[in-house]
Structure 1
C-alpha cells in the first residue's frame, strides 16, 4: 500500500553518505603529479644481482655508448649528467668486446652506483612488453593485401616541446602548418578513410588491418612477401594525437572481462568481429608512420640503435635520457593460469620509448621476434621496481635523500 506523506509534515532529509554534520565533505585532494625521486643505494639492495648473466646486456650497453660518444661533451643528459660524464666509462665499455658475466658485474660495481627510482617515494610501477611482429604483405594492393602502411607525410611537423620550455621536457606534439599556425593532423579514422590516399605514401600493403594496428603499437616489425623477401619496417613519426589503450576502452564497453585483457584477447575479439573492429580501433586516434629500415640487425629503438631482445627497455623520456643501464626487479607472465610468475631480475638498457610509456616507474621490455616473444609481450603486465646505474661521479652529485 502506498503511503502518502501528510502535506503539513516536512519531507525527511535523505541521508548523505559523503556529508558530515556541517554540509558536504570536501573533495579528496587530487593525486600528486608524477615526480621522479632518486635515492642512492647499494648493489646488495638489488634482488638477484649476482645471479643474472649480465654479459647478455653488454652488446646493448656498447651500442648506447657508441651513440653517447658521438654527442658533444656538454650535451645535457638530464639525470644522467652530461655526455662528458660518460666519456671515461664508455671508452672502457667499447674497449671490452666480449667479457663474461663476472667481468661485466665487476666492471659495473666498480664504475657505477645503483640509484633507486620512485614516483613520489612509491617504488612500485608497471612493466609491460613488446616484440617484433611478422606480417604478410605485398608491394602492390590486391584483394588480399589491402591495408597500407604509410610513410611519414612531408608536411608532418613533429615538435619536441622540451626545446621551448624546460617544464615540458619529454612532451611532444605533431601537426601540420596552415596559415602560419600548427594545426592538428588527421586522426586515425580520417587516415583509414583515405585522407592520405592520393599522396603516394604507401610503403607496403599488408593482409590484416588488425595486425597493422598492433604493428603500430610495437613500433617496428617484419613484413614477409610471397617470394620470401622480408622488409623490416620501423617507426618514422606519429600524427600527434594521444594514444588511447584499446584494452581500457573494451573494458569500459564490457567487451572484455577485467583480468582477461591482453594483446591476445584484444586481437581475438577484433578478428572475430570484423564488422566492428575498425570503428573500435578508431577509438585510438593515434596513428604511426613507418619507413623501410633496410638490411641490418634488429629493429631500431628511439635512441637509433638496434634493440637487443630481453635487454632493451622502453622508458619515459620525460624522466630518463636514453642509454641508461637499469636493474629491473619484476616478474615474467606465468606460463599458465594459476602458475607462479618467474622472477625477472635483469640488467637492461633504456633504448626506446612509446606512447603508452608514461611515468617515473614505467617500462616496456623488448622481447624480440617469434611466437614466445609474442606470448610474453602480450601477457606482460607486471608490477615491479627498478634501479638506475649511474656513473659514480654523476651519482655523487645527486642531492641527499630527505
Structure 2
C-alpha cells in the first residue's frame, strides 16, 4: 500500500508522558463512534487505509469494557493498538465552540445571519462533478440540469441568499460570524434565555484562505503574532478593512441547528459524535479515518494544561484548514475562556497514529 507519508513503528514507552496520561476520555469517544458506525453507517476510509472494519472488534471491546481510566485505560489501548510515528513535520492549532448573543429576527443591532444549507447546494463526487470544475470542490450549485460553482462569501454577504428563509439567527458582528464559520460550531443565546447549538452542515466549496496568512502577507503581523485575539483587535481598530479581508476567504459555511440538552457535552462534530475538550482532534479527512486515536506530543504547547501537551486524542472532526498527515486542530472547549486558549495554539508537534493490531502489518 502506498502511504501518504512514511510511518515508523515505535513502542508505547517511546511516547513522552504516556505512563502519566489518562486516555479514559478517548475510550469514551471511541465507544460513541462505535455506536454511530453500527447504528448509522461506517466512516469513510482515509488514504492511510484504516477502515471501520479494522476497528470492529475494538469497538465491541470498548462497549463491553465500560468506563475505564488511568492504567486500565492505557492497557486497553496497549493491548489492541500498535503505534506508528508519522514522519512528517507536525503542527497543531486549537479551536473551540463560541457562545454569542443573537436575535431570531434581523434588527438594527443584529444584522449578520447564520444560514442553513440551501436546497440548491449539492454534494459533488466523480459521478456528477463537471469536467471543467476543480476536483477539490466538494460542493456546487444545481441550476436546472447544470452544476456550477456556488456563489462565494462576498456574493452571499451582498445578498445572494436573501428572502429564502435560510436564516437561523442574526448576530451583532460580522467578525463573530466569520470566526464561528472558522470554528464550525457555536452556542447561540436568544433573548428569551433559550440556547441553540449550530454545527457545520456544508460549505460553498471554495478553498479555505487563512486571513491570518493574508494579514501576515500584508505586513500587519509578524510570524507568530496573528492569533485570533490579535486579529480581532486589529479589526476593532480598522473597521473599514473588515469586508476586504474577510472576503479573501471565499469559503462560506452553512449550519444545522439543535437544542442544547446537556450543557457539559461538546458539539456534534463531523464524526457525528460529541467532542470532548482536550481529547478530540480535527484531522485531514482525506488521509485519516474518524475514530483513529493519535498521540500528540507538543513540548512547547504548555498553556492548555500547564505542562507540555502530551496526550492521546481521537480523530472526530475535520476542517478546511486542516491539511496534511501530521496536521491537527485541538478542540479546547466551549465559551470565552476556551476561545482565549484556542486562539494561542499554533505549535509544532509530533504525531503518532495508533493502528489496530489486525491492520498494523500494513504499516511495518
Provide the TM-score with structure 1 as the length reference: 0.82
Identify if the C-alpha distance between structure 1 residues 232 and 61 changes in structure 2 by more than 3 Å, giving closer, same or farther: same
Counterpart in the other structure of 2:271: 303
Counterpart in the other structure of 1:319: 287
Counterpart in the other structure of 2:75: 106
Q: CA deviation at 1:135?
A: 1.2
Contact 2:4 2:48 in 1 (8 A): no
Distance in 1 separating the partners of 2:78 and 2:86? 18
Distance in 2 separating the partners of 1:219 and 1:74? 19
Q: CA deviation at 1:152?
A: 0.7
Counterpart in the other structure of 2:195: 230
Distance in 2 separating the partners of 1:71 and 1:139? 32
Identify if the C-alpha distance between structure 1 residues 265 and 60 changes in structure 2 by more than 3 Å, giving closer, same or farther: same
- SS at structure 2 position matched to 1:327: strand
Contact 1:137 1:206 in 2 (8 A): yes
Q: How do residues 245-260 of structure 1 correspond to structure 2 at under 5 angstroms?
A: 245-260=210-225
- SS at structure 1 position matched to 2:319: coil
Distance in 2 separating the partners of 1:231 and 1:179? 34
Counterpart in the other structure of 1:28: none
Counterpart in the other structure of 1:218: 183
* Residue of structure 2 aligned with 1:191, choices 153, 156, 160: 156
* Residue of structure 2 aligned with 1:68, choices 28, 33, 37: 37
Superimposed CA distance per residue, residues 109-166 of structure 1 (whole angstroms, 9 cap, x where no aligned partner): 1111111122xxx3x31100100001110101111111111111000012245999xx
Identify if the C-alpha distance between structure 1 residues 388 and 104 changes in structure 2 by more than 3 Å, giving closer, same or farther: same
- SS at structure 1 position matched to 2:358: helix
Distance in 2 separating the partners of 1:177 and 1:218? 27
Distance in 2 separating the partners of 1:55 and 1:391? 17
Identify if the C-alpha distance between structure 1 residues 295 and 142 changes in structure 2 by more than 3 Å, giving closer, same or farther: same
Q: CA deviation at 1:365?
A: 0.3
Counterpart in the other structure of 2:6: 37
Identify if the C-alpha distance between structure 1 residues 361 and 75 changes in structure 2 by more than 3 Å, giving closer, same or farther: closer
Counterpart in the other structure of 2:314: 349
Contact 2:47 2:286 in 1 (8 A): no
Contact 1:210 1:271 in 2 (8 A): no
Q: What number of residue pairs does the alignment pair up?
A: 354
Counterpart in the other structure of 2:18: 49
Point out where structure 1 has 5 or more consecutive residues left out of the alignment.
1-33, 165-169
Distance in 2 separating the partners of 1:81 and 1:257? 39
Q: Tell whether 2:332 aligns with 1:385.
A: no
Counterpart in the other structure of 1:201: 166
Q: CA deviation at 1:370?
A: 2.6
Stretch moving more, 173-182 or 235-244 = 173-182
Distance in 2 separating the partners of 1:161 and 1:326? 30
Provide the TM-score with structure 2 as the length reference: 0.90
Q: Tell whether 2:235 aligns with 1:270.
A: yes
Larger Rg: 1
Identify if the C-alpha distance between structure 1 residues 324 and 285 changes in structure 2 by more than 3 Å, giving closer, same or farther: same
Identify if the C-alpha distance between structure 1 residues 303 and 135 changes in structure 2 by more than 3 Å, giving closer, same or farther: same
Contact 1:174 1:240 in 2 (8 A): yes
- SS at structure 2 position matched to 1:304: coil
Cα root mean square deviation, aligned: 2.5
Identify if the C-alpha distance between structure 1 residues 328 and 89 changes in structure 2 by more than 3 Å, giving closer, same or farther: same
Q: CA deviation at 1:225?
A: 1.6
Distance in 1 separating the partners of 2:355 and 2:187? 34
Contact 1:62 1:93 in 2 (8 A): yes
Distance in 2 separating the partners of 1:172 and 1:64? 27
